[in-house]
Amino acid sequence: MRGAWEPVTWGDPGYLDDVYSDAALTTQLDEHGVPTSSSSQPSLMLTMLEALDVRDGQRVYELGAGTGYNAALLSHRLGDSRVTTVDIDSGLVEAAVRHLHSTGYRPTAIVGDGARGYLHNAPYDRIIATAALPMIPPPLLDQATEGAVVVAPLGYGIVRATVTGPGRAAGRFLGTPAYFMLRRAPGNPPQFESAREQQPSDTHVPVGDVLGRLRFPLSIALPGFTSCSWRDDHGRLDAVGLWTPDGSTAVARTTGTVQQTGPRLLWDTVEELADALPGDPDRADFHLEVTPAGQRVTHRPSGLGWELPTLP
């Protein structure tokens, strides 16, 4: 059936080519066929591990067990007694443990809310997340040593921050684009039909920018933002849709018209970013500051900033 998922297992043609390719691999689906876990692109995993910069004798905490591959690499480098991995999905943890044990590694693997950390093995010198987060979970900062490094996906980017004190951290985004599975299920579905019933307005922003140069800053300004596109019979871009978990939805056409619905007018944010961020914004210009009062991302050249939402 066109568009259906087909499992690829050991012995199938192309299995080893897929496993050793530099591509993300979907490893779990929900009952609706929506991916809920994956093995990250190896080059992206390497980028994050290099940014983590682990040193001998350090303790590492991983949010999101996945297949166990990341924990295996960390265990090989540091010794498995210094690695803790936590995932909210018991099935994933069970599979990760099987994979780890089969290769001789036995790090601490826990079923639980990874955003809450694991006090028993704290404090941690390095913290890495492999699931998309709306902010750096405060409990993880509470379980980190001063000077600890945190590497985590925020929006469609990866931030590297250093813990500077109790509940405090600061850092900037890596230059590498990234997309990770959500830590929890998304909110409301897009309201495209409702949007198309609204009065159209004009826009000066090329709609393709939502899929290109504005994709990362939109993911920070609009937490949980998701986009899709429609193309004509010749494969040319016809329209772009975007929505957020609260049900706010916008549909923008290449003809220069936009229709919006929901509690927030998303395309207004698109136009604000397009005007304030000419060209292709450099991810390294986006800085994160964490204090006990909240977390904020700032684009230093323009002065634009956004408060990050709290964890659900």
CA angle 262, 266, 272 (to 5 degrees): 150
Mean pLDDT, the chain, integer: 91
b/e per residue, 121-153, with b = 16+ CB within 10 A? bbebbbbbbbbbbbbbbbbbbebbeeebbbbbb
The percent of residues above 90 in pLDDT, for the chain, comes to 74
Rounded to the nearest 10°, the torsion over CA 269, 270, 276, 281 is 120
**Cis peptide bond upstream of 123, omega within 30:** yes
Question: So what's the pLDDT on residue 2?
Answer: 46
Query: What mean pLDDT do residues 20-36 have?
Result: 69
311's enclosing H/E stretch is none
174-190 pLDDT, tens digit each: 998 887 756 555 567 88
Collapsed DSSP state (helix, strand, coil) of residue 18: helix
Question: So what's the pLDDT on residue 61?
Answer: 99
Q: Among residues 39, 40, 219, 248, which one is catalytic? A: 40
| Adjacent-strand bridge partners of 83 | 60
Q: Is 102 among the residues known to form the active site?
A: no
Which residue matches tokens 């902010």? 135
Global pTM?
0.89
User: How far apart are alpha carbons 177 and 173 in whole angstroms?
Assistant: 10
Collapsed DSSP state (helix, strand, coil) of residue 272: helix
Question: So what's the pLDDT on residue 1?
Answer: 39
Question: So what's the pLDDT on residue 7?
Answer: 79
